[in-house]
A and B are shown apart, each in its own frame.
Chain A
Amino acid sequence: MNTLACIKRVPETGAKIVLTDDNQAIDTTSLGFTISPHEECGVEEAVQLAEETGGTATVLTLGSPEADEQLRTGIAMGADEAIHLETDGEQWGPRATASAIAEGIEAADESFDLLFFGNESADQENYQVGVRVAHTLGLPIVTGIKNVEIDGDTVVAEREISGGTEVFELPIPAVLTVKEGLNSPRYPSMRSKMQARRAEVATATPERSEANDVEMIELETPERDDSPAEVLGEGPEAAEDVVAVLEELEVI
């Protein structure tokens, strides 16, 4: 079984997010970048299934030349191939993104049995790239998946809902958008990191679709609770300090 995991390079932010002066992007001057956590699970699942079935796992991204770093992380996590749909680094809307990814998938040397997307990206959270790609490719899709089993020519996917679980059966090939908790993504090892640095990445430069797309007007940072937290201590020794604070607050 050949699998594909689509990933996105996103900034690794702390508790407080700083925006650029024009409120159009996150100020990443002092930040690192990572793969959205949902997508890390997608990569792990893609790799595991390929390993179990003797197929190949491919990682794909649409993004700036720097997103190569995330593709190589995917390779270090066990993916066999990588496809980079290179852009100038501008944020593309979900429609343009999905259209370019669908084309990239169709143009790939391999055909994929299962295609994994994150349920939503960690930065833009449009919740629709996976759905749009599935639609374009004419494949069945379920979203928000936290468990995946293969049963012959079908995939059984489970979604957690309040008070229970929804179970879906889809004919393969299919698209799944997955959520954190699906599995525990592996950390790359030093050796796999080294190998990944030397791996080849297939690169294409897609045209950005001119079609109407979701347009981001401006980013806003949410109100934050800035009240400070202080660790008073650990274990029984902390009890005295805790009591002192409770007394100060006049709750005892």
Chain B
Amino acid sequence: MSEKSVPQQAHTVIIGAGIVGTSLAYHLADQGRDDIVLVDKGPFPDPGGSTGHASNFVFPIENNKEMALTTQEAMRQYKSEDLYTTSGGIEVARTEDRLDEFERQLDSAAAWGNEAEIISPAEVKEKVPYINEDLVTGGFWEPNAGVVDPLRFGEIKRKAAESMGALQSFANTEVTNIQTENGEVTTVVTDRGSIDCEEVVIAAGLWSPKFAKMAGTEIPLTPAVHQLISVGPIDELEETGEEVGYPIVRDVDTQMYERPSGNDMEVGSYEHRPILWDVEDVPSNEEAALSPTQPPLTEDAFEPSMEHALELMPDVLGDAEIRHAIDGLLSVTPDGMPVVGPLRDVDGLWSCAAIWIKEAPAFAKYTAQWMTRGYPDVDLHQSDVNRFDGYGTSKAFVENRANEGFQKIYDIVHPAEQWQSSRPLRQSGFYDRQADLGAEFFESAGWERPQWFESNADLLETYADEIESLERPYEWDNRWWSEIILAEHLHMRDNVGMIGDMGFGIFDLVGDDVEAFTQKMAVGRTDVPVGKSVYTPILDPSGGFRSDLTMVRLADDAYRVITGGGEVGPDKRWFRNHMDDMDVRLIDKTSALGTLGVWGPNARDLVDSVAEEDMSDEAFPAYTAQEVTIGEVDAWAFRVSYVGELGWELYAPMEQAGRLWDVIYEAGEEYDVRPVGMGVYGTTGRMEKGYRLYGHELELEYNAAEAGLTFHGVKDADFIGKEAYAEAIEEENAATLCTLSVTDHESSDGVRRFPLGHQPILSPEGEILEDEEGRRSYVTSAGTAPSLGKHLLMAYLPQEYAEEGQDLQVSYMGDTYPVTVERVGSKPLFDPENERIFS
């Protein structure tokens, strides 16, 4: 074949022709991109990446909603090409803890619309006759599990895009540089010529960081080994005459799987010690004996896995020959989720990487939507490539978290489980003081944030009566939790508490056009006087939530934006990408300012005692901000509260934050001020006030009317999502966000249980609630409300059930519990008129 040169120009260049790149090429073509070039350094259809050695099976059940929905969409796509073979799959338990986890998975299956069943060891044996059932305590049966052919799928999709006239593909073409100009991608340089282009997608799997580096940015992932051997021939499999003759087994307690493939059994492991590779050490296609991503098996690391496989399936695995044994390389990110979306610092550059076979066509479709119309159908914020902005893109961090996360792939991971490595990474100016007070630090977006303080244990006695019925006797419910949180909460409501740092993302917007710009971005009116604030949803054009944040006008030409620490990367990119030619600059203050919240009935007296300014309600009304001096510290004070109390967020230069803490803490002795943790700020206080949390209640699937956040009405000025937002207000909701309380906590075993979130909500008859748009009701947030003496759940309920006093049920790890709708919409349950905030 002759040496084809690449075209000199294209609209879109996709780097990487694995399952992601080929699917993406198709979906972009399908959505109207008509000038796409796909390049890969390897041959088609298997260019040598992870797609070529994947075990290709799909287990649909996921505890994570984003992964569950993308897996379902990917299955639809594989099935539509007739490349999905349903085999069923069983996760086998070797422990009692795992059986509990299966109950949790059943809740997830019900919440996201999947089929599953917990089965006995005998039933496991019936489905997989060669299993040693003596080792098995039970099974989790997924009837829709199956296997796919991603190479064939990719080939079909690539050809389809080519025959639409939208795609030119180039195998054996190496990208040697990605050129940028003024922060914008301009050219992809290959060994067959250069391509000037508008947009570039890095879909290069484990090579992605290398390409990001060429463009001057970072994609945080690392190649890691997944060990895999293939043994055979096995008569029992041969006799079925099928590609997958028996259900795939995931031996989850040993982090392994056994997947029939013809007359072979593929035995894969995530049990072995983490083996990370440097992307620069991955050999080229020509240098590799098998493929660049299939280096030979590191035998000693696989030894425990061999023993575990042998003991589970001794009859079929013992004497079968090992015909293939590799250290399969795949991509691992710091938190195990994909890295998708437009890169924050290079316009026109996208990432679509670290995606398993089982979700790939879905991520391709949604990324294509994101590229062509600005937003995907399914919320992908957990996979946003910018989520590590400001802290988590270093090689050391990526490697540490990959090492740690690798061991969690099949592990039972508690929803509040904390990472241990690369900590502490971000310490606020309060850190040492908090550590001295016995802070139990949790990490969020790299920040060390106290969840509660052991030094407050004495409050347990003070509030013993209020807390007693809310204690959590079951270990799982109590894990990563403490009833001290409840005591801190009650103390704050009675006296005063200090909370810091909240780990916010903070950036200032400055420029002559800043008012017009913020008007365009926000649902709320931002043409407010200097010193006033606006809490506002940020929508995408479909009316779904892109973010929710607070803006405070600092000057005629300046606003401060305060958002979640994990959201700041995506938010900054969203804002930047809509600046067009406006005179607006974005200045990140996240690491420059330490934030101390002082809240509670005594907050004014306390702050007033050390402030040079008048802190009275007249001089400093709620929801306004001013410059103040607290003791020696010049700070910026913002009278606002996410816990529903009188008080301020005090923003001080980070190097003076410690001094600010000391001033407040010492003056606060008189009021018995206590340090209070994020357990109160993020959960108990918030839940009592009905405050919504981005990523939990607020996401693309639900609109502002459904979330109960239409208090701004529809302003005159245009803003992104206005049409959809106005329409949502006009139309009757399909579902409305409600707050429910658990009315009886006792399980069938007589233990008081406390649902932790993500469980399905059931009708009184036990049916899973589903709205007319097919969205199931599930617990978006759960938290105890000590001032109300209740355990609260938030959930979107179909209109017919969104009625205060409506009795329903929540499913939780094998039992159902009665719940009642306490509130429809956003009016707080605690202090509904917000008297405390305005006091």
Residues on A lying within 8 angstroms of B by beta carbon are 12-18, 29-34, 69, 186-191, 193-194, 197, 224, 227-231, 245, 248-249
Contact of A189 among B284, B288, B297, B320 (CB under 8 A): B320
Q: Cβ of B118: which chain A residues have Cβ within 8 Å of it?
A: none
CB distance A230 to B43 under 8 Å? yes
Some 29 contacts from A to B, beta carbons below 8 A apart, are A12-B296, A14-B285, A14-B286, A14-B287, A16-B284, A16-B287, A17-B287, A30-B281, A30-B283, A30-B288, A31-B283, A32-B296, A187-B321, A188-B321, A188-B322, A189-B318, A189-B322, A190-B267, A190-B309, A191-B310, A191-B318, A193-B299, A194-B307, A227-B3, A228-B1, A229-B1, A230-B44, A231-B43, A249-B2
User: B617 contacts the other chain (Cβ, under 8 Å)?
Assistant: no
CB distance A230 to B299 under 8 Å? no
User: B317 contacts the other chain (Cβ, under 8 Å)?
Assistant: yes
The DSSP consensus for interface residues of chain A is loop
New A-B contacts (10) at CB < 8 Å, excluding given A15-B287, A18-B287: A13-B287, A14-B287, A31-B283, A31-B295, A34-B296, A188-B321, A194-B310, A197-B299, A230-B44, A231-B43
Q: How many A-B residue pairs have CB under 8 A?
A: 93
Contact of B319 among A18, A189, A245 (CB under 8 A): A189
Q: Cβ of A188: which chain B residues have Cβ within 8 Å of it?
A: 321-322
- CB A61 to nearest CB in B, in angstroms, measures 16
User: B303 contacts the other chain (Cβ, under 8 Å)?
Assistant: yes
Q: Cβ of B175: which chain A residues have Cβ within 8 Å of it?
A: none
Interface flags for B210-232 (1: CB within 8 Å of A; 0: not) read 00000000000000000001010
- CB B739 to nearest CB in A, in angstroms, measures 55
- CB B278 to nearest CB in A, in angstroms, measures 10
- Closest residue of B by beta carbon distance from A13: B289
- Closest residue of B by beta carbon distance from A29: B281
CB distance B1 to A194 under 8 Å? no
CA distance A189 to B310 in the complex (A): 11
CA distance A14 to B320 in the complex (A): 27
- CB B763 to nearest CB in A, in angstroms, measures 51
CB distance B322 to A228 under 8 Å? no
User: Which are the 8 A-B pairs with shortest beta-carbon distances?
Assistant: A32-B296, A187-B321, A16-B286, A228-B172, A30-B283, A191-B318, A14-B288, A12-B289
CB distance B283 to A15 under 8 Å? no
- CB B328 to nearest CB in A, in angstroms, measures 13
- CB B229 to nearest CB in A, in angstroms, measures 8
Q: Cβ of A224: which chain B residues have Cβ within 8 Å of it?
A: 286
CA distance A232 to B303 in the complex (A): 41
User: B45 contacts the other chain (Cβ, under 8 Å)?
Assistant: yes
User: B282 contacts the other chain (Cβ, under 8 Å)?
Assistant: yes
CB distance B303 to A194 under 8 Å? yes
Interface flags for B108-147 (1: CB within 8 Å of A; 0: not) read 0000000000000000000000000000000000000000
User: B171 contacts the other chain (Cβ, under 8 Å)?
Assistant: yes
User: B306 contacts the other chain (Cβ, under 8 Å)?
Assistant: yes
CB distance B289 to A31 under 8 Å? yes
- Closest residue of B by beta carbon distance from A198: B303
CB distance A14 to B317 under 8 Å? no
- Closest residue of B by beta carbon distance from A186: B321
Interface flags for B1-17 (1: CB within 8 Å of A; 0: not) read 11100000000000000
CB distance A32 to B295 under 8 Å? yes
Interface flags for B260-289 (1: CB within 8 Å of A; 0: not) read 000000010000000000000111111111
- CB B336 to nearest CB in A, in angstroms, measures 25
CA distance A69 to B1 in the complex (A): 42
Q: Cβ of B318: which chain A residues have Cβ within 8 Å of it?
A: 189-191
- CB B317 to nearest CB in A, in angstroms, measures 5
CB distance B281 to A190 under 8 Å? no
CA distance A251 to B285 in the complex (A): 30
- Closest residue of A by beta carbon distance from B290: A14
Q: Cβ of A193: which chain B residues have Cβ within 8 Å of it?
A: 299, 306, 322
CA distance A114 to B299 in the complex (A): 30
CB distance B282 to A190 under 8 Å? no
Q: Cβ of B281: which chain A residues have Cβ within 8 Å of it?
A: 29-30
CB distance A69 to B289 under 8 Å? no
Residues on B lying within 8 angstroms of A by beta carbon are 1-3, 43-45, 171-172, 229, 231, 267, 281-290, 295-297, 299-300, 303, 306-307, 309-310, 317-323
- CB B223 to nearest CB in A, in angstroms, measures 11
- CB B148 to nearest CB in A, in angstroms, measures 18
Q: Cβ of A249: which chain B residues have Cβ within 8 Å of it?
A: 2
Q: Cβ of B297: which chain A residues have Cβ within 8 Å of it?
A: 32
**Highest count of chain A CB atoms <10 Å: which of B229, B281, B286, B319:** B286
CA distance A193 to B229 in the complex (A): 12
- CB B34 to nearest CB in A, in angstroms, measures 22
Q: Cβ of B285: which chain A residues have Cβ within 8 Å of it?
A: 14
CA distance A188 to B325 in the complex (A): 11
CB distance A190 to B317 under 8 Å? yes
- CB A186 to nearest CB in B, in angstroms, measures 6
- CB B817 to nearest CB in A, in angstroms, measures 46
- Closest residue of B by beta carbon distance from A16: B286
CB distance A230 to B1 under 8 Å? yes
Q: Cβ of B2: which chain A residues have Cβ within 8 Å of it?
A: 248-249
- CB B259 to nearest CB in A, in angstroms, measures 15
- CB A30 to nearest CB in B, in angstroms, measures 4
CB distance B287 to A30 under 8 Å? yes
- Closest residue of B by beta carbon distance from A30: B283
- CB A151 to nearest CB in B, in angstroms, measures 31
CA distance A221 to B53 in the complex (A): 29
Q: Cβ of B309: which chain A residues have Cβ within 8 Å of it?
A: 190
Q: Cβ of B307: which chain A residues have Cβ within 8 Å of it?
A: 194
CB distance A228 to B320 under 8 Å? no
Q: Cβ of B286: which chain A residues have Cβ within 8 Å of it?
A: 14-16, 224
- Closest residue of B by beta carbon distance from A69: B299
- CB B37 to nearest CB in A, in angstroms, measures 16
CA distance A31 to B289 in the complex (A): 8
CB distance B322 to A190 under 8 Å? yes
CB distance A190 to B310 under 8 Å? yes
**Highest count of chain B CB atoms <10 Å: which of A30, A188, A229:** A30
- CB A147 to nearest CB in B, in angstroms, measures 23
CA distance A96 to B288 in the complex (A): 32
Known: A30-B281, A30-B287, A191-B318. A231 touches B1 (CB 8 A): no
CB distance B287 to A194 under 8 Å? no
Q: Cβ of B171: which chain A residues have Cβ within 8 Å of it?
A: 228, 230
CA distance A16 to B292 in the complex (A): 12
- Closest residue of A by beta carbon distance from B231: A190
CA distance A6 to B573 in the complex (A): 63
Q: Cβ of A17: which chain B residues have Cβ within 8 Å of it?
A: 287
Contact of A14 among B1, B44, B283, B310 (CB under 8 A): B283
CB distance B43 to A14 under 8 Å? no
**Highest count of chain A CB atoms <10 Å: which of B287, B296, B322:** B287
Known: A30-B283, A228-B171. A14 touches B289 (CB 8 A): yes
CA distance A155 to B569 in the complex (A): 75
Q: Cβ of B296: which chain A residues have Cβ within 8 Å of it?
A: 12, 31-34
CA distance A73 to B45 in the complex (A): 33
**Highest count of chain B CB atoms <10 Å: which of A32, A187, A224:** A32
Q: Cβ of B290: which chain A residues have Cβ within 8 Å of it?
A: 14
CA distance A35 to B295 in the complex (A): 16
CB distance B322 to A187 under 8 Å? yes
CA distance A229 to B283 in the complex (A): 19
- CB B342 to nearest CB in A, in angstroms, measures 32
CA distance A16 to B310 in the complex (A): 37
CB distance B295 to A190 under 8 Å? no
- CB B452 to nearest CB in A, in angstroms, measures 48
- Closest residue of B by beta carbon distance from A188: B322
CB distance A231 to B45 under 8 Å? yes
CB distance B303 to A197 under 8 Å? yes
- CB A237 to nearest CB in B, in angstroms, measures 9
CA distance A194 to B282 in the complex (A): 29
CA distance A193 to B322 in the complex (A): 9
- CB B44 to nearest CB in A, in angstroms, measures 6
CA distance A168 to B288 in the complex (A): 40
Q: Cβ of B284: which chain A residues have Cβ within 8 Å of it?
A: 16
- CB B274 to nearest CB in A, in angstroms, measures 18
